Chains A and B, each alone.
Chain A
Amino acid sequence: MTMTDDATLVLPAAQPRLPAALVAERVSAWFGDHQVLEDVDLAMAAGEVTALIGPSGCGKSTFLRILNRMHELVPGASLAGQVLLDGHDIYDPELRPIESRRRIGMVFQKANPFPTMSVHDNVLAGLRLTGRRTRRSTSDDLVERSLRSAGLWEEVKNRLGTPGSSLSGGQQQRLCIARALAVRPDVLLMDEPCSALDPTSTRRVEETIRSIAGEVTVVIVTHNMQQAHRVSDHCAFFLAAEGKPGYIVEQGRTEDIFERPQDERTSDYVNGRFG
């Protein structure tokens, strides 16, 4: 990895890195014998926000978890196709899954800060977990920068030592975003990050997503059409017939998907006529 040295961690603001594109090619997925995704092609452009929309059970979350090799943690899970990060297949047998996950971070539906760690240590958890040592001043700087990126710094700067679990739900979710950003991923995956949050916290998280886009490639699963409309540049509409694997009905620029959908089902869904 090139991020092991301190220099990269000290200077990233001065040397903005280009975010990486993520491309899924012919991805299918199974749980045991049950196929949940069929032949999904999707290019997630570098530095943009791609929203995955569609009714429950159409394989959006499975697809998202395939993008950073979380899918294989489920016993019996398998897949076909490939996922290219900057042109390299993250399922390359030569690569360890942990190396892909270090470059492709994830924020979950339910905020999951490490409850026994302080806010400060939660932000640095990713570095500690991947065995990267940093100097005190470097890490304090990184904590502040990550919390600022996640829009949480002003609220917690005076209580960095309190446990992560003492924050409110919305703050915990932004702490998880800060934690994911602290390892400077190329891609950030978000699985319905606002579904458990109140409207104010949701707005904060959306602002955060808009502000980090450009620095990282964001892929977000959401059930909230307005949210998809507000935060994303691209949209992919997933659908699955009863008992059949999910697939992408339509994808494109967000404004096209919402204002000029090509497929009638897309039009029905984004206008709230089903799902």
Chain B
Amino acid sequence: MTISVDPPVRTAATRRVISARPTPQDVTFVVAARSAAISTLVVMGLIGLFLLIGAWPALHQQGLSFITEWQWLPEAGTFGIASLLWGTFLIGLFALVVAVPVGFGAALFISEYAPRSIKGSLITLVDLMAAVPSIIYAMWALFFLQAHLLTVAQWISVHFGPVLPFLRVNTPDSPSSYTSSAFIAGIAVGVVVLPTVTSIMREVFAQAPIGEREGAIALGATRWGMIRTVVIPFGRSGIVGGIMLGLGRALGETIVVYAVISPMFEFTTHPLQSGTNTIASHIASRYSESGGVALSGLLGAGLVLFLFTLVINTLAGIVVSRSRSGSATEI
């Protein structure tokens, strides 16, 4: 038997505001860190604002046709970035076709298969690849890669062109039909963004928890089975983030594209054919000779590129950081 006894009646204690006085060191540090963080945002904002103000005359004059116009004839008053957007898209696509599979494989090799003795060197090597200035890649692409890719492009065109019309070129027998194309520039850019893609993916794969890895191995999994059930599912968001970050770099790559392509202001469905253009390369090639509304147009093109890369990088950051695997990954 239990006897219930009413608890003694007491008035509730008043709630307190919990406060703590920070030390002067903390205050100094917080102020310094916060202002550094804010100033990066302010600089980004100012760059965007500068581009918008500079681009306004062109945007105002052209209206929506700034996006839809294929030609770039500022003197005649008709200019737009449609051809630039299309070329940027094509080159980004080819870059990813190269960088994603190779980067994925390289990342898996480094994190899962490479012997410990060479793993560190491989990681450093990939980092070094990212540190090579793109002008070096540009020269390599122009004087070495292009010559070799011409044969590849020709082979693809001759063998698959009859079936897939977009792989045809005007004069398939002449190697010069294949120079300076979106295909060649795209592959060169793919090599440039490869280390970015590889290092993001590798970092995420390496974080796949040891407990789950051992769980799979203890069930009798082969190494590939373990990678398939543990590492890749764990790293999925890192794969997506790596791809998007690579795309962001590819869209902005300037000097490699500028060196390889021959500028063209048309809609082309033949990426193997000579001639293409991108926003970044176009700005680089025209800014010194442009003034007035033409310069304003270039700033407008720059604004579009700025917004694109901002959005893609932000999305990549969100994808990576929101996942279980990416919470500790810096991009």
Contacts and interface: CB of A to CB of B under 8 A. Distances in A.
A112 B220 contact: no
Interface stretch (B89-97, B222-230, B255-263): B222-230
B120 interface: no
Interface string A97-134: 01101100110101011111100000001101111000
B212 interface: yes
Contacts of A125: 216, 219, 229
B219 A130 contact: yes
B212 A106 contact: no
A183 B116 contact: no
Nearest to A101: B220
A134 to B, nearest CB: 15
A18 interface: no
A101 B220 CA distance: 5
Contact of A105 (B211, B219, B222, B229): B219
Contacts of A130: 219-221, 225
Interface residues of B, number: 20
Contacts of B230: 114
Contact of A70 (B212, B217, B222, B233): B217
A108 B214 contact: yes
B220 A73 contact: no
B209 interface: yes
B222 A98 contact: yes
Nearest to B211: A112
Given A75-B116, A112-B209, A101 B217 contact: yes
A112 to B, nearest CB: 4
A176 B233 CA distance: 18
B322 to A, nearest CB: 15
A68 B214 CA distance: 11
A25 B225 CA distance: 31
Interface in B193-238: 209, 211-212, 214-222, 225-226, 229-230, 233-234
Contact of A114 (B116, B212, B220): B212
A117 B219 CA distance: 15
Given A114-B212, A115-B324, A70 B218 contact: yes
Nearest to A1: B220
A68 B215 contact: no
A113 B233 CA distance: 13
Nearest to A132: B220
B116 to A, nearest CB: 6
A115 B213 CA distance: 12
A24 interface: no
Contacts of B214: 70, 73, 106, 108, 112
A112 B230 CA distance: 11
A180 B211 contact: no
Contact of B221 (A68, A98, A106): A98
A129 B226 CA distance: 8
Interface string A166-194: 00000000001001100100000000000
Interface in A122-178: 125-126, 128-131, 176
A129 B324 contact: no
B240 to A, nearest CB: 15
A129 B220 contact: yes
A183 B211 contact: no
Interface string B124-157: 0000000000000000000000000000000000
Contacts of B212: 112, 114-115
Contacts of A117: 229
Contacts of A183: 219-220
A143 B158 CA distance: 54
A73 B219 CA distance: 14
A110 B225 contact: no
B211 A102 contact: no
B297 to A, nearest CB: 48
A274 to B, nearest CB: 30
Contacts of B234: 116
B7 to A, nearest CB: 30
Contacts of B220: 98-99, 101-102, 126, 129-130, 183
A80 to B, nearest CB: 23
Interface in A224-262: none
Contacts of A68: 218
Contacts of A102: 219-220
Contacts of B221: 98, 129-130
B217 A73 contact: yes
A126 B219 CA distance: 5
Interface of A: 68, 70, 73, 75, 98-99, 101-102, 105-106, 108, 110, 112-117, 125-126, 128-131, 176, 179-180, 183
Interface of B: 116, 209, 211-212, 214-222, 225-226, 229-230, 233-234, 324
Given A114-B216, A114-B233, A129-B221, 8 more contacts: A73-B214, A98-B221, A106-B214, A113-B215, A114-B230, A116-B234, A129-B229, A179-B215
Q: Which 5 A-B pairs have the closest CB atoms?
A: A102-B220, A106-B218, A112-B211, A129-B221, A126-B219
